[in-house]
Structure 1
């Protein structure tokens, strides 16, 4: 009978294990954990070792007891890397001695596997999500859940791959050559390990190429440029050695029983990682420091800790030294690589975006009503500024043949130009945008630490102090938060509750923007100037940026507007506002900036396109604003009506912008709480998803409806009904059906229809056909069949008021023929078509 070890992975399930390849009657005498260890060894070929276990009081079984920081996770054997085995008799002997020992599996070539350890406590889930968003999901492979809520992804071993911590990102560790991992059903103080996809059902897969490439590029021990990374640090000067000695003194001595092991590893990391010292340079300093420890380590142990200390480095490699690069003729590529690595290692805030290198900056720009405001944006690096960065963080040296010495030199311009030209090969992080307020990640966690966030690819700069938000806010918390936000809107004259909901969405959406890839636009319209449109969005900007809304005017042409929008998107602004739009707003570029997470935008002043990721929220204001064409399903519309001739003379009793700026963090927290509470409640009664904006609909929109607000999407229907382009299409299809009838048999070319429409005069029965056709067929004031044909092609398949436009190309290369079909019941269309006049 074939042995089936499936049950071993399920904690608490009865084990069913027959004899091993070398049956031993005493095998039944070993513990359950011992039998499991035998199965791992005999069936999977994994080399196992006994680990310490957690005692009933929670202390580790090792001599450190309560002080052990790896309780139940580290081997009982001193030379476990060489003693690990697949021998069932040896394994049984171990577990007779230590029946409660947890089971460890040695990784690397010994067992043929390596492990990607995802630690959620250090941000592992967010880091992995960011990697998968960039490269695609990990392949189906053996997967184990850890007691801390993390995962072990088990892959086939890769020759030469060694252990690393955080090289792929925060909370992502590699267990490979020289490492081991705990396997089910072992237990720690946090709970048991369990297999989600057991290795005997889902064998370890090959690791994806992108993951291995990142490991080779980023791990100093494996990277092809590792020699370059270490090599550009010259021998340590007396000044550097003295700085390292002072750093050890500040670090303090290792004291037994107070984490002395880890403290010593970190001391070694200060020398070999932070200061980039060689082992020979670091040894005298570490030996000197060891004399202050209680008690001092013996020399053998101390040298072992020096060798393993590098992986405990938390900052970038060589962060406490300014690296040196020797300028040698014929080595431009290597020099540029060293220079780029030096900037990355120094943690310089430089990122890749839209085929360029950029940096976050804060500057003052125009705001509404002639005011000035400060905003964060992204500035493109040029060769001059890149040289400036290199001079700050790298010491360039040129050999002087006369003196026989390497002398300090300025960074060559060609090195900066080479770095800037390496599009697609940069080691800098790709960036989605820059923000100045806390936001929500896609998994619902809060981004509140300044700097670059891998999960959202956003840079957070100078966020305001914010009250603490509960991990799971209640509905009452959300209601209180919504009341706080609603109080800001009390004096705005909304025409209905749906418009008020759009305004609330305008306050919340920019704050939680990191949680979804795209968000609908928010527009404010009024019949009379001075009603408060700009003031409304100033209130939103005050929350999400700490300043009134930065605005731009719409261009005189769609192409000009496209370039202005593109400039704002490339700059990475969190909010983009078009102020005082005359007439209508729409167009392909406007729609794409709103709807697409990655857009190709025109560069202002040039006829080039840049592909960029956008995390902006778009706002629009205008008097009697009309949302045109496809923009009607992408824009939420607030209507304001003060019901007076001179609304600009109205006096607000309060100033919502000033109110926000007096305690901005409170309003940021309120916006986050509204959405967090809805998600924590299990997203009850989630609204039907809005196409293209599912993430926003599932969070902001559904949260508002959950709290009793009107559906903000209702305003889209009103905007669609008043869209002049849609009205024109309704008129054209309705009058077409009335005059020609419906169905394929009534098909006409664009030229035929235009000729018939031009023949009508004011006395004709169907002036509507003439008016509708000539309105869309005009080219520079004259009717044009080609223009009309293009208009028909753009609207082919559209359904309006119960009619659908259809067409087909002629098989002999003649002009396309067009007709109108009925689709359902014609609403607001010409009725009784059969009774009307035909051609």
Structure 2
């Protein structure tokens, strides 16, 4: 029996770079596609400069009225469009977070246009919800979305800092394994969903920040509601879906014809997406096509992901302070949790500050200090690593070594 992992309503590109311009079931990607193949223009084998520039203009057209904050945001928008076309064939891909400094900046329209591009109709939104039961409810929604075969989900109006272990896990694993609501059956299947979100000066925690492209829209006016536009991005995306998909195929074909140059640092945590989308956008900028198309310079579309990956959370900061303090105190000598506890009792120094940050105001003992050391062993921070090197009557012995 064949496995169906996703439905697609557009021509697409597989993770291996194969162009799929014929509807039907594709064995390698396990995607079934349905679209009007007769309405798709022929794809050039080696697109010339004029065709590449025209493809960028076509792909970006529904979003051309937006004022993006930086070249990286502009690049992330093009990457989001390409991701929408290719998402059904990718096991893993980042989400897209649309941010703005004020309301009425058009964030929901920009994200909704991606959903319209993928689905061929207005996709709708899922209101952002926080609170005690938010994660449990989100898990139910994600299972229902996967069972229904949906390919797009938009969380609207994120407030504050968004934290979601459930969503982070789904984006990282690319699948859902959970009990069906109201039944004693489990759903196990792919979750090739294009996840988008919007917010006004909202933020993502480090886990989600490593899994979302950020597209910041800055209208540059105090009252965006006072502006007027001659078209709706969602309507524009609906009217030119096949043309946009064809434009994406042209860009991928041109990049492949150029030898698929390796561009960018790392793979942003999404290896196939990096090869298929990010490098194409970086190549478009490197060759000057983006500026020739009239959109200005483009940066790294994964800039926000790379920035989040390089950032330290409070836990990492505390671990660095602890290990550095232990290294400066004991040098290359072994020590026990009881000796570290004695440093804490001194009430000063990096070890005291780090343990206070990790354990807070709770009662601290040699046992709790030992747990802190155990939970931070073998992790390299600041070029140092904490190693467990032996046992004595007083317990485990530890040493700080170069990482």
Q: TM-score, normalised by structure 2?
A: 0.77
Which one is further off, 657-666 or 587-596? 587-596
The reply on whether 1:503 has 2:84 as its aligned counterpart is no
Alpha-carbon distance in 1 for matches of 2:22, 2:59: 20
Alpha-carbon distance in 1 for matches of 2:278, 2:344: 46
The partner residue of 2:6 within 430, 433, 437 is 433
The partner residue of 2:317 within 705, 711, 731 is 731
For structure 2, which runs of at least 5 residues remain unmatched after alignment?
A: 286-297
CA offset at residue 511 of structure 1? Answer: 0.6
The reply on whether 1:493 has 2:67 as its aligned counterpart is yes
Alpha-carbon distance in 1 for matches of 2:52, 2:39: 16
The reply on whether 1:457 has 2:30 as its aligned counterpart is yes
Alpha-carbon distance in 1 for matches of 2:240, 2:333: 68
The reply on whether 1:694 has 2:271 as its aligned counterpart is yes
The partner residue of 1:717 within 299, 306, 309 is 306
CA offset at residue 568 of structure 1? Answer: 2.6
CA deviation vs aligned residue, 1:551-578 (integer Å, no higher than 9, x gap):
3335535454344334333433222333
CA deviation vs aligned residue, 1:388-420 (integer Å, no higher than 9, x gap):
xxxxxxxxxxxxxxxxxxxxxxxxxxxxxxxxx
Q: Is the Cα contact below 8 Å between 1:493 and 1:642 reproduced in 2?
A: yes
Cα distance change of structure 1 residues 807 and 583 upon mapping to structure 2, 3 Å threshold = farther
CA offset at residue 656 of structure 1? Answer: 1.8
Q: Decide which structure has the larger Cα Rg and report it.
A: 1
The reply on whether 1:467 has 2:40 as its aligned counterpart is yes
| 2:295 matched residue in structure 1 | none
Structure number with the higher helix fraction is 2
| 1:595 matched residue in structure 2 | 172
Q: Secondary structure at the match of 2:158?
A: coil
| 2:158 matched residue in structure 1 | 581
CA offset at residue 502 of structure 1? Answer: 0.9
CA offset at residue 437 of structure 1? Answer: 2.4
Which one is further off, 580-589 or 691-700? 580-589
Alpha-carbon distance in 2 for matches of 1:608, 1:806: 44
Alpha-carbon distance in 2 for matches of 1:685, 1:475: 20
The reply on whether 1:484 has 2:70 as its aligned counterpart is no
Alpha-carbon distance in 2 for matches of 1:531, 1:790: 48
The partner residue of 2:235 within 637, 646, 658 is 658
Q: TM-score, normalised by structure 1?
A: 0.40
The partner residue of 1:808 within 379, 382, 388 is 388
Return the structure number with greater relative CO, CA threshold 8 A, min gap 6. 2
Alpha-carbon distance in 1 for matches of 2:238, 2:261: 33
| 2:290 matched residue in structure 1 | none
Q: Is the Cα contact below 8 Å between 2:206 and 2:308 reproduced in 1?
A: no
Alpha-carbon distance in 2 for matches of 1:718, 1:819: 31
Q: Is the Cα contact below 8 Å between 1:495 and 1:640 reproduced in 2?
A: yes
Q: Is the Cα contact below 8 Å between 2:323 and 2:385 reproduced in 1?
A: no
Q: Is the Cα contact below 8 Å between 1:516 and 1:696 reproduced in 2?
A: yes
Cα distance change of structure 1 residues 699 and 812 upon mapping to structure 2, 3 Å threshold = same
CA offset at residue 515 of structure 1? Answer: 4.6
Aligned ranges for residues 344-423 of structure 1 at < 5 Å?
A: none
| 1:536 matched residue in structure 2 | 110
CA offset at residue 702 of structure 1? Answer: 1.4
Cα distance change of structure 1 residues 737 and 440 upon mapping to structure 2, 3 Å threshold = closer
Alpha-carbon distance in 1 for matches of 2:346, 2:58: 63
Q: Secondary structure at the match of 1:707?
A: helix
CA offset at residue 538 of structure 1? Answer: 1.2
Alpha-carbon distance in 2 for matches of 1:717, 1:502: 13
Alpha-carbon distance in 1 for matches of 2:253, 2:322: 51
Q: Secondary structure at the match of 2:215?
A: strand
Alpha-carbon distance in 1 for matches of 2:35, 2:364: 57
| 2:284 matched residue in structure 1 | 707
Alpha-carbon distance in 2 for matches of 1:687, 1:600: 33
Q: Is the Cα contact below 8 Å between 1:440 and 1:514 reproduced in 2?
A: no
Alpha-carbon distance in 2 for matches of 1:645, 1:591: 34
Cα distance change of structure 1 residues 601 and 775 upon mapping to structure 2, 3 Å threshold = farther
Aligned ranges for residues 112-511 of structure 1 at < 5 Å?
A: 427=1, 429-441=2-14, 442-449=16-23, 451-461=24-34, 466-476=39-49, 477-511=51-85
CA offset at residue 471 of structure 1? Answer: 4.7
Cα distance change of structure 1 residues 745 and 694 upon mapping to structure 2, 3 Å threshold = same
CA deviation vs aligned residue, 1:593-638 (integer Å, no higher than 9, x gap):
2233445345446797533123222223333343334444433222
The reply on whether 1:523 has 2:93 as its aligned counterpart is no
Alpha-carbon distance in 2 for matches of 1:609, 1:788: 41
For structure 1, which runs of at least 5 residues remain unmatched after alignment?
A: 1-426, 824-839
Cα distance change of structure 1 residues 737 and 509 upon mapping to structure 2, 3 Å threshold = same
CA offset at residue 681 of structure 1? Answer: 3.4
The partner residue of 2:217 within 640, 646, 651 is 640
Cα distance change of structure 1 residues 769 and 582 upon mapping to structure 2, 3 Å threshold = farther
Alpha-carbon distance in 1 for matches of 2:179, 2:144: 8
The partner residue of 2:191 within 614, 617, 621 is 614
Alpha-carbon distance in 1 for matches of 2:143, 2:332: 43
Q: Secondary structure at the match of 2:333?
A: helix
Alpha-carbon distance in 2 for matches of 1:635, 1:789: 36
| 1:115 matched residue in structure 2 | none
Alpha-carbon distance in 2 for matches of 1:810, 1:736: 20
Q: Is the Cα contact below 8 Å between 1:435 and 1:573 reproduced in 2?
A: no
Q: Secondary structure at the match of 1:745?
A: coil
| 2:289 matched residue in structure 1 | none
The partner residue of 2:144 within 564, 567, 576 is 567
Cα distance change of structure 1 residues 734 and 619 upon mapping to structure 2, 3 Å threshold = same
CA offset at residue 732 of structure 1? Answer: 0.8
